[in-house]
A and B are shown apart, each in its own frame.
Chain A
Amino acid sequence: MSQSVPLRPSDRDGIRRVLIESLSYVAPEADGSSLQPTADIREALDIDSMDFLRYVTKLHALTGIDIPERDYSSVSTLRGAETYLALRLGVT
Protein backbone atom coordinates (compact mmCIF):
# COMPACT_ATOMS: atom_id res chain seq x y z
CA MET A 1 0.00 0.00 0.00
CA SER A 2 1.19 3.49 -0.75
CA GLN A 3 -0.37 4.98 2.37
CA SER A 4 1.88 6.72 4.83
CA VAL A 5 0.44 4.90 7.80
CA PRO A 6 3.34 3.81 10.00
CA LEU A 7 3.60 0.26 11.22
CA ARG A 8 2.53 0.09 14.85
CA PRO A 9 0.76 3.39 15.36
CA SER A 10 1.97 5.17 18.43
CA ASP A 11 -1.04 7.34 19.24
CA ARG A 12 -4.82 7.41 19.00
CA ASP A 13 -4.74 9.37 15.73
CA GLY A 14 -2.53 6.74 14.18
CA ILE A 15 -4.91 4.01 15.32
CA ARG A 16 -7.86 5.84 13.80
CA ARG A 17 -6.01 6.19 10.48
CA VAL A 18 -5.23 2.47 10.49
CA LEU A 19 -8.90 1.69 11.14
CA ILE A 20 -10.14 3.91 8.32
CA GLU A 21 -7.60 2.48 5.92
CA SER A 22 -8.51 -1.10 6.83
CA LEU A 23 -12.20 -0.40 6.36
CA SER A 24 -11.79 1.32 3.01
CA TYR A 25 -9.70 -1.67 1.93
CA VAL A 26 -12.72 -3.97 2.18
CA ALA A 27 -15.40 -1.41 1.34
CA PRO A 28 -13.75 1.07 -1.07
CA GLU A 29 -16.94 3.01 -1.68
CA ALA A 30 -17.60 3.44 2.04
CA ASP A 31 -16.60 6.63 3.79
CA GLY A 32 -15.13 5.32 7.02
CA SER A 33 -14.92 8.77 8.57
CA SER A 34 -18.70 9.18 8.54
CA LEU A 35 -19.33 5.89 10.35
CA GLN A 36 -21.05 6.02 13.71
CA PRO A 37 -18.36 5.06 16.27
CA THR A 38 -20.65 2.54 17.96
CA ALA A 39 -22.24 1.05 14.84
CA ASP A 40 -21.44 -2.57 13.97
CA ILE A 41 -19.33 -2.19 10.86
CA ARG A 42 -20.64 -5.46 9.41
CA GLU A 43 -24.14 -4.01 9.42
CA ALA A 44 -23.19 -0.44 8.58
CA LEU A 45 -20.97 -1.35 5.62
CA ASP A 46 -22.82 -4.55 4.70
CA ILE A 47 -19.68 -6.67 4.78
CA ASP A 48 -19.75 -10.44 5.00
CA SER A 49 -17.53 -12.79 7.01
CA MET A 50 -14.95 -12.97 4.26
CA ASP A 51 -14.62 -9.19 4.08
CA PHE A 52 -14.49 -9.05 7.87
CA LEU A 53 -11.62 -11.52 7.77
CA ARG A 54 -9.85 -9.29 5.23
CA TYR A 55 -10.38 -6.30 7.53
CA VAL A 56 -8.83 -8.20 10.45
CA THR A 57 -5.98 -9.34 8.18
CA LYS A 58 -5.38 -5.73 7.13
CA LEU A 59 -5.33 -4.56 10.75
CA HIS A 60 -2.74 -7.24 11.42
CA ALA A 61 -0.62 -6.08 8.48
CA LEU A 62 -0.75 -2.44 9.56
CA THR A 63 -0.24 -2.89 13.30
CA GLY A 64 1.53 -6.22 13.69
CA ILE A 65 -1.26 -7.33 16.03
CA ASP A 66 -2.86 -10.69 15.31
CA ILE A 67 -6.43 -10.49 16.54
CA PRO A 68 -7.72 -13.92 17.64
CA GLU A 69 -11.21 -15.00 16.61
CA ARG A 70 -12.56 -14.70 20.15
CA ASP A 71 -11.77 -10.96 20.04
CA TYR A 72 -13.58 -10.28 16.75
CA SER A 73 -16.54 -8.77 18.57
CA SER A 74 -14.18 -6.26 20.21
CA VAL A 75 -13.11 -4.86 16.85
CA SER A 76 -16.52 -4.82 15.18
CA THR A 77 -17.20 -1.16 16.00
CA LEU A 78 -14.87 1.80 15.40
CA ARG A 79 -14.83 2.75 19.07
CA GLY A 80 -14.38 -0.83 20.24
CA ALA A 81 -11.55 -1.43 17.77
CA GLU A 82 -9.80 1.80 18.77
CA THR A 83 -9.95 0.87 22.47
CA TYR A 84 -8.87 -2.71 21.74
CA LEU A 85 -5.91 -1.72 19.58
CA ALA A 86 -4.82 0.99 22.04
CA LEU A 87 -4.78 -1.63 24.78
CA ARG A 88 -2.87 -4.17 22.72
CA LEU A 89 -0.39 -1.53 21.49
CA GLY A 90 0.10 0.04 24.90
CA VAL A 91 -1.11 3.42 23.66
CA THR A 92 -2.90 5.68 26.14
Chain B
Amino acid sequence: MPSLGADMDAGTLRAWRRGPGDEVVRGDIIAEVETDKGIVEVEVYASGVVERLLVEPGTKVPVGTPLALIRAASEQTTPRVAIEKPRIATSVRSSTPSARKLARERDLDLSHLRGTGRHGSITRSDVAAIAGSVELAGVHEPAGTRLRASPLARARAAVLGVDLRRVEPTGRQGVVIAADVDRAAKAPTRLSAAEAGTQTGMRKAIAAAMARSKREIPHYYALHTIDMEPALEWLRDRNGERPVQRRLLPAVLFLRAVVLAIRDFPELNAHCDGGRAEPSEAVHLGVAVSLRGGGLVAPAILHAERLNIDQLMSEFQDLVLRARAGQLRASEMSSPTITVTSLGERGVEAVLPVIVPPQVAIVGFGAIQTRPYVVDEKVVARRLVVASLAADHRVSDGHRGGKFLAAIASRLKEPKEP
Protein backbone atom coordinates (compact mmCIF):
# COMPACT_ATOMS: atom_id res chain seq x y z
CA MET B 1 0.00 0.00 0.00
CA PRO B 2 1.74 3.14 -1.19
CA SER B 3 1.63 6.36 0.79
CA LEU B 4 -0.38 8.82 -1.27
CA GLY B 5 0.13 11.82 0.91
CA ALA B 6 1.85 12.92 4.07
CA ASP B 7 -1.05 12.05 6.32
CA MET B 8 -2.22 8.82 4.82
CA ASP B 9 -1.70 5.83 7.08
CA ALA B 10 -4.03 3.30 5.49
CA GLY B 11 -5.93 2.69 2.27
CA THR B 12 -8.69 0.41 1.05
CA LEU B 13 -8.01 -1.79 -1.94
CA ARG B 14 -10.98 -1.23 -4.25
CA ALA B 15 -10.26 -3.40 -7.28
CA TRP B 16 -7.53 -5.28 -9.04
CA ARG B 17 -6.85 -4.32 -12.65
CA ARG B 18 -4.40 -7.19 -13.14
CA GLY B 19 -4.39 -10.74 -11.91
CA PRO B 20 -1.95 -13.58 -11.31
CA GLY B 21 -0.01 -14.51 -14.43
CA ASP B 22 -0.37 -11.08 -16.02
CA GLU B 23 2.75 -9.40 -17.26
CA VAL B 24 3.19 -5.88 -15.98
CA VAL B 25 5.54 -3.12 -17.04
CA ARG B 26 6.73 -0.36 -14.72
CA GLY B 27 4.05 2.33 -14.77
CA ASP B 28 1.14 0.00 -15.53
CA ILE B 29 -1.92 0.48 -13.39
CA ILE B 30 -2.42 -2.63 -11.31
CA ALA B 31 -5.03 -1.65 -8.75
CA GLU B 32 -7.43 0.99 -7.51
CA VAL B 33 -7.06 2.16 -3.96
CA GLU B 34 -9.52 4.26 -2.05
CA THR B 35 -8.10 6.84 0.30
CA ASP B 36 -9.74 9.62 2.23
CA LYS B 37 -9.13 11.76 -0.83
CA GLY B 38 -10.92 9.54 -3.27
CA ILE B 39 -10.00 6.68 -5.55
CA VAL B 40 -6.46 6.50 -6.84
CA GLU B 41 -4.93 4.29 -9.49
CA VAL B 42 -1.80 2.50 -8.29
CA GLU B 43 1.07 1.92 -10.69
CA VAL B 44 3.66 -0.84 -10.42
CA TYR B 45 7.25 0.20 -9.87
CA ALA B 46 8.92 -2.90 -11.31
CA SER B 47 8.31 -4.92 -14.43
CA GLY B 48 7.56 -8.61 -14.18
CA VAL B 49 4.75 -11.09 -13.79
CA VAL B 50 2.06 -10.88 -11.14
CA GLU B 51 2.69 -13.89 -8.93
CA ARG B 52 -0.08 -13.47 -6.43
CA LEU B 53 -2.52 -10.90 -5.08
CA LEU B 54 -2.29 -10.60 -1.33
CA VAL B 55 -5.16 -8.29 -0.44
CA GLU B 56 -8.80 -8.77 -1.20
CA PRO B 57 -10.82 -5.90 -2.68
CA GLY B 58 -12.65 -4.03 0.04
CA THR B 59 -9.89 -4.57 2.61
CA LYS B 60 -8.32 -1.62 4.44
CA VAL B 61 -4.62 -2.09 5.10
CA PRO B 62 -1.86 0.10 6.58
CA VAL B 63 0.63 1.93 4.36
CA GLY B 64 3.55 -0.39 3.63
CA THR B 65 1.50 -3.58 3.51
CA PRO B 66 2.43 -5.70 0.47
CA LEU B 67 -0.52 -5.80 -1.95
CA ALA B 68 0.80 -8.29 -4.49
CA LEU B 69 3.86 -10.32 -5.32
CA ILE B 70 5.49 -9.52 -8.64
CA ARG B 71 8.18 -11.80 -10.00
CA ALA B 72 10.84 -9.61 -11.55
CA ALA B 73 11.48 -10.16 -15.25
CA SER B 74 14.99 -11.43 -14.44
CA GLU B 75 13.74 -14.12 -12.08
CA GLN B 76 13.07 -16.90 -14.50
CA THR B 77 11.69 -19.67 -12.36
CA THR B 78 10.40 -19.58 -8.85
CA PRO B 79 9.62 -16.21 -7.31
CA ARG B 80 12.02 -14.70 -4.82
CA VAL B 81 9.39 -15.04 -2.17
CA ALA B 82 9.17 -18.76 -2.65
CA ILE B 83 6.39 -20.93 -1.40
CA GLU B 84 8.13 -23.11 1.11
CA LYS B 85 5.32 -25.14 2.51
CA PRO B 86 7.10 -26.97 5.33
CA ARG B 87 8.42 -23.77 6.81
CA ILE B 88 5.06 -22.18 7.42
CA ALA B 89 4.82 -23.33 11.02
CA THR B 90 8.17 -21.82 11.91
CA SER B 91 7.53 -18.36 10.49
CA VAL B 92 7.79 -15.44 12.87
CA ARG B 93 4.08 -14.87 13.07
CA SER B 94 2.00 -17.65 14.50
CA SER B 95 -0.98 -19.18 12.78
CA THR B 96 -3.83 -21.41 13.87
CA PRO B 97 -3.89 -25.10 12.82
CA SER B 98 -6.99 -24.62 10.70
CA ALA B 99 -5.31 -21.65 8.96
CA ARG B 100 -2.28 -23.80 8.13
CA LYS B 101 -4.50 -26.61 6.87
CA LEU B 102 -6.37 -24.29 4.51
CA ALA B 103 -3.08 -22.74 3.36
CA ARG B 104 -1.75 -26.20 2.46
CA GLU B 105 -4.93 -27.02 0.55
CA ARG B 106 -4.73 -23.79 -1.42
CA ASP B 107 -0.95 -23.90 -1.82
CA LEU B 108 -0.49 -20.53 -0.15
CA ASP B 109 2.51 -19.09 1.68
CA LEU B 110 1.72 -17.57 5.05
CA SER B 111 5.12 -16.16 5.91
CA HIS B 112 4.35 -12.69 4.60
CA LEU B 113 0.82 -12.40 5.80
CA ARG B 114 -0.18 -10.14 8.63
CA GLY B 115 -2.85 -11.86 10.69
CA THR B 116 -5.86 -10.34 12.33
CA GLY B 117 -5.91 -12.73 15.29
CA ARG B 118 -4.42 -12.12 18.72
CA HIS B 119 -0.80 -10.85 18.60
CA GLY B 120 -0.97 -10.82 14.82
CA SER B 121 -1.58 -14.52 14.53
CA ILE B 122 -2.99 -15.75 11.26
CA THR B 123 -6.50 -17.13 11.44
CA ARG B 124 -8.41 -19.34 9.05
CA SER B 125 -10.42 -16.36 7.81
CA ASP B 126 -7.19 -14.51 6.94
CA VAL B 127 -6.20 -17.40 4.74
CA ALA B 128 -9.68 -17.62 3.29
CA ALA B 129 -9.47 -13.94 2.43
CA ILE B 130 -6.26 -14.46 0.48
CA ALA B 131 -7.56 -17.58 -1.19
CA GLY B 132 -10.65 -15.58 -2.07
CA SER B 133 -8.64 -12.77 -3.58
CA VAL B 134 -6.83 -15.21 -5.82
CA GLU B 135 -10.15 -16.52 -7.04
CA LEU B 136 -11.63 -13.06 -7.40
CA ALA B 137 -8.84 -12.16 -9.77
CA GLY B 138 -10.17 -14.74 -12.20
CA VAL B 139 -12.87 -14.02 -14.74
CA HIS B 140 -15.79 -15.24 -12.68
CA GLU B 141 -16.43 -13.40 -9.52
CA PRO B 142 -18.62 -15.47 -7.24
CA ALA B 143 -21.92 -13.78 -6.52
CA GLY B 144 -21.62 -13.09 -2.84
CA THR B 145 -22.89 -10.45 -0.51
CA ARG B 146 -20.10 -8.10 -1.52
CA LEU B 147 -21.32 -4.82 -2.89
CA ARG B 148 -20.79 -4.81 -6.64
CA ALA B 149 -20.31 -1.48 -8.39
CA SER B 150 -18.32 -0.27 -11.36
CA PRO B 151 -15.20 1.80 -10.62
CA LEU B 152 -16.87 4.83 -12.22
CA ALA B 153 -19.93 4.33 -10.03
CA ARG B 154 -17.75 4.16 -6.92
CA ALA B 155 -15.93 7.31 -7.97
CA ARG B 156 -19.18 9.11 -8.73
CA ALA B 157 -20.63 7.99 -5.39
CA ALA B 158 -17.60 9.26 -3.52
CA VAL B 159 -17.79 12.64 -5.21
CA LEU B 160 -21.55 13.00 -4.87
CA GLY B 161 -21.65 11.61 -1.34
CA VAL B 162 -24.00 8.76 -2.26
CA ASP B 163 -24.13 5.62 -0.11
CA LEU B 164 -23.75 2.78 -2.63
CA ARG B 165 -25.70 0.41 -0.40
CA ARG B 166 -28.77 2.56 -0.93
CA VAL B 167 -28.47 2.57 -4.73
CA GLU B 168 -30.67 0.32 -6.82
CA PRO B 169 -28.44 -1.44 -9.37
CA THR B 170 -29.43 -1.75 -13.02
CA GLY B 171 -26.15 -3.08 -14.40
CA ARG B 172 -25.55 -6.64 -15.50
CA GLN B 173 -25.70 -9.18 -12.66
CA GLY B 174 -26.80 -6.53 -10.20
CA VAL B 175 -23.78 -4.28 -10.59
CA VAL B 176 -24.29 -0.65 -9.61
CA ILE B 177 -23.36 1.54 -12.57
CA ALA B 178 -22.63 5.27 -12.68
CA ALA B 179 -26.12 6.13 -14.00
CA ASP B 180 -27.64 4.43 -10.93
CA VAL B 181 -25.56 6.65 -8.67
CA ASP B 182 -26.63 9.75 -10.57
CA ARG B 183 -30.24 8.73 -10.20
CA ALA B 184 -29.81 8.14 -6.48
CA ALA B 185 -28.07 11.49 -6.09
CA LYS B 186 -31.08 13.25 -7.59
CA ALA B 187 -33.54 11.40 -5.37
CA PRO B 188 -35.14 13.54 -2.68
CA THR B 189 -33.62 11.61 0.25
CA ARG B 190 -30.95 13.97 1.51
CA LEU B 191 -28.38 13.16 4.13
CA SER B 192 -28.63 15.01 7.40
CA ALA B 193 -25.71 17.27 8.21
CA ALA B 194 -24.56 14.86 10.91
CA GLU B 195 -24.55 11.90 8.52
CA ALA B 196 -22.69 13.89 5.90
CA GLY B 197 -20.17 14.91 8.53
CA THR B 198 -19.30 11.35 9.41
CA GLN B 199 -19.24 10.31 5.79
CA THR B 200 -16.57 12.47 4.24
CA GLY B 201 -13.21 11.00 4.95
CA MET B 202 -11.91 13.64 2.57
CA ARG B 203 -12.77 16.37 5.08
CA LYS B 204 -10.73 14.47 7.68
CA ALA B 205 -7.78 14.08 5.31
CA ILE B 206 -7.77 17.79 4.53
CA ALA B 207 -8.08 18.58 8.24
CA ALA B 208 -5.14 16.31 9.11
CA ALA B 209 -2.82 17.67 6.41
CA MET B 210 -3.67 21.30 7.05
CA ALA B 211 -3.44 20.97 10.84
CA ARG B 212 0.00 19.38 10.46
CA SER B 213 1.04 22.17 8.12
CA LYS B 214 -0.02 24.92 10.50
CA ARG B 215 1.47 23.06 13.47
CA GLU B 216 4.87 22.37 11.93
CA ILE B 217 5.51 24.88 9.17
CA PRO B 218 6.26 28.50 10.07
CA HIS B 219 4.47 30.18 7.15
CA TYR B 220 5.29 33.60 5.81
CA TYR B 221 3.20 35.34 3.17
CA ALA B 222 3.81 37.75 0.31
CA LEU B 223 1.29 39.41 -2.03
CA HIS B 224 1.73 41.06 -5.39
CA THR B 225 -0.81 42.73 -7.69
CA ILE B 226 -0.20 41.91 -11.34
CA ASP B 227 -1.55 43.77 -14.37
CA MET B 228 -3.14 41.04 -16.52
CA GLU B 229 -4.02 43.19 -19.58
CA PRO B 230 -1.00 42.14 -21.69
CA ALA B 231 -1.48 38.46 -20.89
CA LEU B 232 -5.24 38.53 -21.49
CA GLU B 233 -4.85 40.40 -24.78
CA TRP B 234 -2.30 37.85 -25.91
CA LEU B 235 -4.67 35.08 -24.85
CA ARG B 236 -7.63 36.64 -26.68
CA ASP B 237 -5.67 36.93 -29.93
CA ARG B 238 -4.33 33.42 -29.61
CA ASN B 239 -7.69 31.83 -28.73
CA GLY B 240 -9.44 33.88 -31.40
CA GLU B 241 -7.80 31.93 -34.17
CA ARG B 242 -8.22 28.52 -32.57
CA PRO B 243 -11.09 26.02 -32.43
CA VAL B 244 -12.62 25.51 -29.02
CA GLN B 245 -10.67 22.30 -28.35
CA ARG B 246 -7.36 24.15 -28.56
CA ARG B 247 -8.11 27.24 -26.52
CA LEU B 248 -6.20 28.11 -23.37
CA LEU B 249 -7.60 29.22 -20.04
CA PRO B 250 -6.10 32.11 -18.05
CA ALA B 251 -5.31 29.59 -15.29
CA VAL B 252 -2.78 27.93 -17.61
CA LEU B 253 -0.94 31.23 -17.95
CA PHE B 254 -0.58 31.21 -14.16
CA LEU B 255 0.71 27.65 -14.14
CA ARG B 256 3.15 28.38 -16.94
CA ALA B 257 4.45 31.53 -15.23
CA VAL B 258 5.08 29.60 -12.01
CA VAL B 259 6.91 26.79 -13.82
CA LEU B 260 9.17 29.27 -15.65
CA ALA B 261 9.81 31.45 -12.60
CA ILE B 262 10.61 28.58 -10.21
CA ARG B 263 13.78 27.73 -12.17
CA ASP B 264 15.61 30.56 -10.43
CA PHE B 265 14.22 29.68 -7.00
CA PRO B 266 15.06 26.00 -6.54
CA GLU B 267 14.73 26.23 -2.76
CA LEU B 268 10.98 26.80 -3.19
CA ASN B 269 10.54 23.74 -5.42
CA ALA B 270 11.39 21.23 -2.74
CA HIS B 271 10.33 18.82 -0.07
CA CYS B 272 11.27 19.52 3.52
CA ASP B 273 12.03 16.50 5.66
CA GLY B 274 12.92 17.08 9.28
CA GLY B 275 13.81 20.71 8.71
CA ARG B 276 16.11 19.95 5.76
CA ALA B 277 14.93 21.03 2.31
CA GLU B 278 15.64 18.81 -0.66
CA PRO B 279 15.22 20.80 -3.89
CA SER B 280 13.77 18.88 -6.82
CA GLU B 281 15.16 18.94 -10.35
CA ALA B 282 11.73 18.20 -11.77
CA VAL B 283 8.80 20.54 -11.35
CA HIS B 284 5.85 18.35 -10.39
CA LEU B 285 3.27 21.09 -10.32
CA GLY B 286 0.52 20.50 -7.79
CA VAL B 287 -2.82 21.95 -8.83
CA ALA B 288 -5.58 22.45 -6.28
CA VAL B 289 -8.81 21.08 -7.77
CA SER B 290 -12.13 21.61 -6.05
CA LEU B 291 -14.51 18.72 -6.46
CA ARG B 292 -18.17 18.98 -7.28
CA GLY B 293 -20.06 18.24 -4.10
CA GLY B 294 -17.25 19.54 -1.89
CA GLY B 295 -13.68 18.68 -1.07
CA LEU B 296 -10.34 19.39 -2.61
CA VAL B 297 -7.40 17.47 -4.04
CA ALA B 298 -4.04 18.79 -5.21
CA PRO B 299 -2.47 16.22 -7.56
CA ALA B 300 0.56 17.01 -9.69
CA ILE B 301 1.14 17.68 -13.36
CA LEU B 302 4.31 15.60 -13.61
CA HIS B 303 7.40 17.18 -15.16
CA ALA B 304 5.62 20.42 -15.96
CA GLU B 305 9.03 21.90 -16.85
CA ARG B 306 9.10 19.73 -19.99
CA LEU B 307 5.74 20.89 -21.32
CA ASN B 308 4.97 23.74 -23.68
CA ILE B 309 1.87 25.79 -22.99
CA ASP B 310 -0.48 23.66 -25.13
CA GLN B 311 0.74 20.47 -23.51
CA LEU B 312 0.39 22.08 -20.11
CA MET B 313 -3.23 22.99 -20.95
CA SER B 314 -4.13 19.47 -22.03
CA GLU B 315 -2.39 17.87 -19.02
CA PHE B 316 -4.14 20.34 -16.74
CA GLN B 317 -7.52 19.59 -18.32
CA ASP B 318 -6.93 15.85 -18.12
CA LEU B 319 -5.87 16.08 -14.47
CA VAL B 320 -8.90 18.11 -13.42
CA LEU B 321 -11.26 15.76 -15.24
CA ARG B 322 -9.71 12.69 -13.68
CA ALA B 323 -9.61 14.30 -10.23
CA ARG B 324 -13.34 14.95 -10.49
CA ALA B 325 -14.01 11.44 -11.79
CA GLY B 326 -11.92 9.88 -9.00
CA GLN B 327 -9.30 8.49 -11.37
CA LEU B 328 -6.04 9.93 -10.12
CA ARG B 329 -2.82 7.94 -10.09
CA ALA B 330 -0.67 7.29 -7.06
CA SER B 331 2.34 9.06 -8.58
CA GLU B 332 0.26 12.20 -9.10
CA MET B 333 -1.01 12.23 -5.53
CA SER B 334 2.31 11.81 -3.78
CA SER B 335 4.72 13.86 -5.84
CA PRO B 336 3.90 17.59 -6.05
CA THR B 337 7.00 19.73 -5.47
CA ILE B 338 5.12 23.05 -5.40
CA THR B 339 1.39 23.74 -5.61
CA VAL B 340 -0.73 26.39 -7.29
CA THR B 341 -4.24 27.29 -6.20
CA SER B 342 -6.27 29.48 -8.51
CA LEU B 343 -9.65 30.71 -7.34
CA GLY B 344 -11.13 31.10 -10.81
CA GLU B 345 -13.19 33.80 -12.43
CA ARG B 346 -15.93 33.83 -9.82
CA GLY B 347 -13.67 33.70 -6.78
CA VAL B 348 -12.61 36.45 -4.39
CA GLU B 349 -9.68 38.74 -5.04
CA ALA B 350 -6.93 37.06 -3.03
CA VAL B 351 -6.14 33.89 -1.11
CA LEU B 352 -3.59 33.17 1.62
CA PRO B 353 -3.04 29.48 1.00
CA VAL B 354 -1.73 26.81 3.36
CA ILE B 355 1.37 24.81 2.37
CA VAL B 356 0.79 21.11 1.73
CA PRO B 357 3.47 19.16 3.64
CA PRO B 358 6.15 18.12 2.82
CA GLN B 359 6.24 20.92 0.23
CA VAL B 360 7.70 24.29 1.16
CA ALA B 361 5.69 26.72 -0.95
CA ILE B 362 2.26 27.32 -2.47
CA VAL B 363 1.26 30.05 -4.91
CA GLY B 364 -2.27 31.46 -4.98
CA PHE B 365 -4.10 33.48 -7.61
CA GLY B 366 -7.30 35.36 -6.87
CA ALA B 367 -9.99 36.13 -9.42
CA ILE B 368 -9.02 38.45 -12.25
CA GLN B 369 -10.94 41.67 -11.56
CA THR B 370 -11.21 45.05 -13.25
CA ARG B 371 -9.84 47.68 -10.86
CA PRO B 372 -8.47 51.24 -10.98
CA TYR B 373 -4.75 51.15 -11.69
CA VAL B 374 -2.10 53.74 -12.38
CA VAL B 375 -0.42 53.60 -15.78
CA ASP B 376 1.82 56.50 -16.89
CA GLU B 377 0.60 58.73 -14.04
CA LYS B 378 -3.05 58.19 -15.01
CA VAL B 379 -5.70 56.14 -13.26
CA VAL B 380 -7.16 53.65 -15.71
CA ALA B 381 -9.39 50.57 -15.51
CA ARG B 382 -7.27 47.43 -15.79
CA ARG B 383 -7.79 43.74 -15.24
CA LEU B 384 -5.63 42.75 -12.28
CA VAL B 385 -4.86 39.63 -10.31
CA VAL B 386 -3.43 39.31 -6.82
CA ALA B 387 -0.77 36.62 -6.69
CA SER B 388 0.15 35.32 -3.26
CA LEU B 389 2.85 33.12 -1.86
CA ALA B 390 2.91 31.12 1.33
CA ALA B 391 6.32 29.65 2.01
CA ASP B 392 8.20 27.80 4.73
CA HIS B 393 10.30 30.27 6.73
CA ARG B 394 12.74 27.50 7.67
CA VAL B 395 13.67 27.25 4.01
CA SER B 396 13.38 30.78 2.60
CA ASP B 397 12.52 34.29 3.66
CA GLY B 398 10.26 37.10 2.53
CA HIS B 399 12.90 38.76 0.43
CA ARG B 400 13.37 35.71 -1.77
CA GLY B 401 9.64 35.02 -1.76
CA GLY B 402 8.94 38.54 -2.98
CA LYS B 403 11.44 38.14 -5.79
CA PHE B 404 9.77 34.91 -6.81
CA LEU B 405 6.38 36.66 -7.08
CA ALA B 406 8.02 39.47 -9.08
CA ALA B 407 9.48 36.86 -11.44
CA ILE B 408 6.00 35.36 -11.91
CA ALA B 409 4.67 38.86 -12.64
CA SER B 410 7.30 39.56 -15.29
CA ARG B 411 6.48 36.23 -17.02
CA LEU B 412 2.81 37.22 -17.08
CA LYS B 413 3.58 40.68 -18.46
CA GLU B 414 5.43 39.24 -21.39
CA PRO B 415 3.52 36.17 -22.38
CA LYS B 416 5.08 34.36 -25.27
CA GLU B 417 5.33 30.90 -26.69
CA PRO B 418 6.10 28.21 -26.14
Contacts and interface: CB of A to CB of B under 8 A. Distances in A.
Interface string A25-56: 00111010000000000110010111001001
Given A29-B160, A31-B186, A69-B236, A57 B245 contact: yes
Interface stretch (A4-12, A60-68, A78-86): A60-68
A1 to B, nearest CB: 13
Contacts of A27: 292
Given A29-B182, A29-B186, A53 B243 contact: no
B233 interface: no
Interface residues of B, number: 23
B266 interface: no
A75 to B, nearest CB: 11
Q: How large is the interface on A (under 10, 10 to 19, 20 to 34, 35 or more residues)?
A: 10 to 19
Contact of B249 (A28, A29, A53): A53
Given A27-B292, A29-B292, A69 B250 contact: no
Interface string B230-272: 0000001001100111010111000000000000000000000
B317 interface: yes
A24 B185 CA distance: 13
A90 to B, nearest CB: 20
Given A29-B185, A43-B346, A50-B320, A68 B249 contact: no
Contacts of B290: 48
A69 B251 CA distance: 15
B243 A48 contact: no
B240 A68 contact: yes
B138 interface: no
Contacts of A49: 249-251, 344-345
Most buried by B among A48, A56, A68: A48
Most buried by A among B185, B245, B251, B293: B245
20 contacts: A27-B292, A28-B156, A29-B160, A29-B186, A42-B346, A43-B346, A46-B292, A48-B345, A49-B250, A49-B251, A49-B345, A50-B320, A53-B247, A53-B249, A57-B244, A57-B245, A60-B243, A66-B243, A66-B244, A70-B240
Interface of B: 156, 160, 182, 185-186, 236, 239-240, 243-245, 247, 249-251, 290, 292-293, 317, 320, 344-346
The 10 closest A-B pairs by CB, nearest first: A48-B344, A29-B185, A57-B244, A60-B244, A69-B239, A49-B345, A56-B244, A49-B249, A66-B243, A28-B182
Interface of A: 27-29, 31, 42-43, 46, 48-50, 53, 56-57, 60, 66-70
